[in-house]
Amino acid sequence: MLPFTYALRNLFRDPSRLAQTVGGSALVVLLLIAAVALNEGMDSVLSASGSSKNVILVGKGSEESIERSEVHLDAESAAATSIRGLDGRLGTTAVSGEIYYQAPLETESGHKDQALLRGVLEKALLVHTKVRLLEGYFPGPGEVMVGHLAHRKLGVDADELSPGMPVKFGDSRFIISGVFAAPGTVLESEIWFDRNDLATLTQRDTLSAIIIRLDSAELDDVQVFSLQRNDLELAAMGEDVYYSKLGVFYQPIKIMTWVTAALVSAGALFGGLNTLYAAFAARIQEMATLQSIGYTRFALLVSLIQESLLATLTGTLIACLIAYFLLDGCTVPFSIGTFTLTLSPQVIFTGLITGSLLGTIGTLPPAFRCLLPPLPKALRSA
């Protein structure tokens, strides 16, 4: 075998080629890391948003979209009294009738953007158990409570959505009463209104959905209730099932992410391969000389792979560092919430595997082209 230092020194033969190989592999790895982190982030926020202990009651035929759903106000008390085995605290059953609405919201600076609004009463905290108040208090009339990532969804500074600051919905002005967290869920991007305020503003006399938290009861019990109360025209589904269905809805976006990453990566990959072809083609005679001395083609291939791996893994390291400083912890808004990009072990592992494959499999075509010509011909090559 050739000494490792031979591969190491070959790297620095042509600094511009080295920069191209390292830069190309860094770009490919960074794009894949970003694509995996985006998909993981979206999957994770959707799966964390739905609890298997929660059941959603929506209007029949509106199972695909809670926003379009209409549920009679009476259904809330009917569910709370008719279904046995629901969770609850201090005599209050964990049944929360809620209104969902998407509308433009204006902040103090005049910035106006589409916001996710939820009209709730205090018992919403019994069903949304991940919600924790970070500061302030639960909103009363004329007040709102904001998720701590709502500013990302609205595209404003966090300071604009801090307690005491005003927001405008239409011509009505509301004061922010508190900020809440609901780690890893879409709730963190929402703005919670007093339910009656939101009903008035949106001129609704119905709810969008009723969230029920189960204790000993099961989904079947809620479904039986929805069938028994045929007059209320309800459909019951697990909250986790609802969010996993939303995941399917976002599948095209995920595919587009992969396609974009793949297209840009393909460009960088072919650029990198071209660089390797040029780098190795210039050394056909040198490889032939080493073969004439007695080095096998396998030994030379190993050396070429070592050389490429050094470059691509350097690129991978750079990509991981860029991802760590620029992507890790970054919040990405999407239509129903915001998710956080995380450099999980799986994401880093994907980057490492990609960098290693670029350095090994990517090296094979140019290396074969360099090592396969008959020795007499290769020795005469310029």
Partner 1 sequence: MSFISIRSVTKSFTKGKTTITPLEDLSLDVTKGEFLALMGPSGSGKTTLLNLVAGIDSPTHGELTIDSRNIAGLSRAELTRWRAKHVGYIFQLYHLVPILSAYENVELPLLLGKFSKSERKEKIMAALDLVGLTDRAHHRPSELSGGQEQRVAIARAIVHDPGLLVADEPTGDLDRESADSILALLNQLAGEHNKTIVMVTHDPKAAASAHRTLHLEKGQLIEQNLQS
Q: Which residues bind partner 1 (CB under 8 A)?
A: 1-3, 6, 9-10, 12-13, 285-286, 289-297, 374-376, 379
The 10 Å Cβ neighbour count of residue 375 is: 13
Longest dimension (CA), the chain: 92
By beta-carbon proximity to partner 1, the closer residue of 4 and 270 is 4
Min dist CB 274 to partner 1, Å, is 22
Cβ-based nearer residue to partner 1, 345 or 376: 376
Q: CB atoms < 10 A from the CB of 203, how many?
A: 6
The 8-class DSSP code of residue 146 comes to E
Q: Of 92 and 285, which CB lies nearer to partner 1 in the complex structure?
A: 285
Please state the closest distance from residue 19 (CB atom) to partner 1, in A: 18
Q: Is 265 exposed, middle or buried (0-12, 13-18, 19+ CB in 10 A)?
A: buried
Q: Which is nearer to partner 1, 8 or 263 (CB)?
A: 8
Q: Which is nearer to partner 1, 12 or 325 (CB)?
A: 12
Q: CB of 376: closest distance to partner 1 in angstroms?
A: 5
Question: Residue 109 Cβ, how far from partner 1 at the closest point, in Å?
Answer: 60
Q: CA 37, CA 28: separation in Å to the nearest integer?
A: 14
The H or E element containing residue 132 is strand 132-136
- What phi, psi does 212 have (nearest 5°)? -120, 130
Determine if residue 82 is left, alpha or beta; phi over 0 gives left, psi from -120 to 50 gives alpha, anything else beta: alpha
Per the structure block, which two tokens stand in for 56? 């959603």
At 201, the amino acid letter reads L
Q: What is the CA radius of gyration of the chain?
A: 29
Burial class for 335, CB neighbours closer than 10 Å (0-12, 13-18, 19+): middle
- For residue 296, the minimal CB distance to partner 1 (Å) is 5
Decide whether 3 or 110 has the Cβ nearer to partner 1.
3
CB of 284 to partner 1, least distance (A): 12
Minimum CB separation from partner 1 for residue 3, in Å?
A: 7
Q: For residue 328, which phi and psi values (nearest 5 degrees)?
A: -60, 125
> Given the complex with partner 1, which of 3 and 345 has the nearer CB atom?
3
